Amino acid sequence: MTTLLISNAILWVAVVGLSLVVLALARQIGVLHERVAPAGALTTRSGPAPGEAAPVLDVMTLDGRALRIGGASAQGRRTLLFFLSPTCPVCKTVLPSVLRVAASEVPPVDVVLASDGDRGEHVAYVERNGLAGLAYVLSTELGLAYAIGKLPYAVLIDANGVVRAKGLVNSREHVESLFEADRLGVATIQDYIDAHGARSASEGRSARGDAA
């Protein structure tokens, strides 16, 4: 009987100890989560920078519609250029997120899919992935104007024809970061984090100085 009581006591001590370890780990994970900055789209230096006017180009969509990219929008709508390729697996994975994020935005956003290469290959790609009806442009000139070197890549242009944000987008979070940068009035989410962190550090030093 005594042995059983001792065993139960040891077991409960072990359970309590493990619970404390789990709580400590959970707290540490929370601290790390707060310290890790959200991942934004990786902005490249090439091509028009955020804050600059987007190149004005007249192009044709795959289904024969004339389309002007850049310049002030007559409808007052923003444009999200999404550069992709039928041979890019990440592009295919991210594309649904691009469409969903854009569809949820207010004010509205027009999505333009952009690429170059063999027309027949792109027509087949549109059919396979149910993209009929979307603005799909084949234009080498467009890719050169934005200095696209890697895919998938996105550029957010405001209703006045100004580039608001851009970058490589490998996930939904990257796509959302372009719109968030626009709302915050910064070129990239990282710029906001850097400025916010520097301001917090400065305020902390000032507070310590006042306390002294």
Q: What is the mean pLDDT of each run of 10 residues along the chain (212 residues)?
A: 65 64 52 44 87 97 96 94 97 97 94 97 96 96 96 97 97 96 93 71 49 50
Closest to 156 in 3D by CA, of 40, 61, 64, 58: 40
Between CA 39 and CA 42 the distance in angstroms is: 9
* Cβ proximity of 85 and 125 under 8 Å: no
Domains identified in the chain and CATH numbers: 57-192 (3.40.30.10)
HSE (side-chain half, CA atoms, 13 Å) at 60: 4
Phi, psi dihedrals of residue 93, rounded to the nearest 5° = -70, -40
**What is the predicted pLDDT for the residue at 165?**
97
Q: Is 43 exposed, middle or buried (0-12, 13-18, 19+ CB in 10 A)?
A: buried
**What is the predicted pLDDT for the residue at 195?**
83
**What is the predicted pLDDT for the residue at 44?**
79
Name beta bridge partners: 68.
58
Show the tokens assigned to 93. Answer: 């994975």
Measured between alpha carbons, how far is residue 127 from residues 86, 120, 121, 131, 136 in Å? 12, 11, 10, 7, 12
Antiparallel, parallel or unpaired: β 135-138 and 109-115 = parallel
**What is the predicted pLDDT for the residue at 122?**
98
